[in-house]
Structure 1
Amino acid sequence: MTLETAGKADMKYTNQRVEIITFLREHKGHPTVDEIYDGVRKKLTRISKATVYKNLKFLSEKGLIEEVNVKGVTRFEANFVPHHHLICRKCGKIEDFESDELFDYLMKVAGGIEGFNIDSVNTNFYGECKDCKEKNRNG
């Protein structure tokens, strides 16, 4: 997906928006607003946190990035390969989980919903990550 075709958004691609999307595509994970601000500020030294936040909301509304909320903290990603999330209830770590079988099954179920055209699905799985499980075992 290119910036020109992503989300089929009819919008102006400002330097700020391009740098935010570029940062998210290069950053493997689910960074917070603060992490995105720190990363983008390395290239756009005069950008404000308010500008980053405003653009993240805008890009999310246009479908160019995704928001993931964990423990009251909004995180963002630009991974549009169909995937789900594994979320640790203890530390808040988020990992992507890809499963064609699960995606196909969920889309099949979603296809049976009347009066709503569903074009995408994702599922969040909550539990305890390997690191927290290990800490509990050793702590």
Structure 2
Amino acid sequence: MREMESKDIKYTNQRIEILDFLKKFDGHPTVDDVYEGVRKKLTRISKATVYKNLRFLAEKGLVKEVNIKGVSRFEANLIPHHHIICIGCGKISDYESEKLTEYSLKIAGEIEDFEVETTDTNFYGICKKCTED
């Protein structure tokens, strides 16, 4: 886990398994999802340990926390991107647009007494699957 070594982060089994799970997970898992996935390999891990490590990894910039409607979700995709969220089924998809990111940062640069470091936008609507149902 080179990411951890480069940021002076203690190399623990829990953190390695959490990062591995997030890198393999297709989507934006909740703490419960991560807990259930990691528990398959680390049977004695607690949900509190998973939560604490997710917060730690997010603070260190190794994972990203996305808060959707008050629910924390996590992802390993650190490339600047936005999210498309279906209000029907709740599916969250990544949407990459350098143009949108650059425009958002340009507009945010006009905010006085605040230096914006990053931006992401959530788009809410109905996915194709939900419109067909």
- State the match for 1:78 in structure 2: 76
- State the match for 1:123 in structure 2: 121
Moved runs in structure 1, 4+ residues, more than 4 A?
Answer: none
State the TM-score, normalizing by the size of structure 1.
0.84
| CA distance in structure 2 between the partners assigned to 1:99 and 1:42 by the alignment | 36
- State the match for 2:67 in structure 1: 69
| CA distance in structure 2 between the partners assigned to 1:3 and 1:21 by the alignment | 10
1:10 Cα deviation (Å)? 4.2
- Structure 1, residues 67-88: CA drift from partner, whole Å, max 9, x if none? 2223433211111111100011
Q: What is the aligned length?
A: 133
Kept in 1: contact 2:21–2:37 (CA 8 A): yes
More displaced, 13-22 or 68-77?
68-77
Kept in 1: contact 2:4–2:10 (CA 8 A): no
Q: What runs of 5+ residues in structure 1 fail to find an aligned partner?
A: none
Alignment of 1:1-139 (within 5 A): 2-4=2-4, 9-135=7-133
State the TM-score, normalizing by the size of structure 2.
0.88
| CA distance in structure 1 between the partners assigned to 2:53 and 2:21 by the alignment | 13
| Local SS of the residue matching 1:60 | helix
Q: What runs of 5+ residues in structure 2 fail to find an aligned partner?
A: none
Give percent identity, aligned residues only.
Answer: 63
